[in-house]
Amino acid sequence: MTEPSLAEMSHIWRTDDPKRLVRRGHPVGDFLGAPEWEVMERGERTLRLRAHLPEQVKNPRGDLFGGFTPTYVDFVALHLFHLGGSEAEPRRWLNTASLQVDYFAPIRGPHFEISGELLQKRERSACVQLRFLSTAGELCALGQVTLIEQRSS
């Protein structure tokens, strides 16, 4: 199996709409409903999103199934890694070195907020923290991930 071209793939899901994170075409993003998320704030090291809770990620009570929370963490962290970078910069695949999620309250829909910050970035690695907040501002979960950029093969 050949590795897909990251340049071609990222072109498929990038959007010029400043209120959107991605457009359709990213398999994980599509599953999470990311093309419908609203970018509320985008800084050099921060990102604040209004996400919705699609049916396929809900548990039988209608909350976000805990096992999908790390998927949100990983997906949003990838975008935080590239904040502030030039579109001309070559993109490389990122590997998740570690990922942790602490749960405090159920994440309920129909909407919730994801607030992320790029805590540390070095040459090829970064540490990102994400907060999952209810519409009332209650901290529901806290995620942290370390990403490592692959070297060219």
- Full set of structural domains in the chain with CATH: 6-149 (3.10.129.10)
- Region 119-138: mean pLDDT is 95
With residues binned 3-state (H G I as helix, E B as strand, rest as coil), the percentages for the chain, rounded to 5, are: 25, 35, 40
DSSP 33: T
Instruction: Give the model confidence (pLDDT) of 74-106 as tens digits.
Output: 999 999 998 866 565 666 789 999 999 999 999
**Separation between Cα atoms, residue 50 and residue 48, nearest integer Å:** 7
**Separation between Cα atoms, residue 54 and residue 133, nearest integer Å:** 16
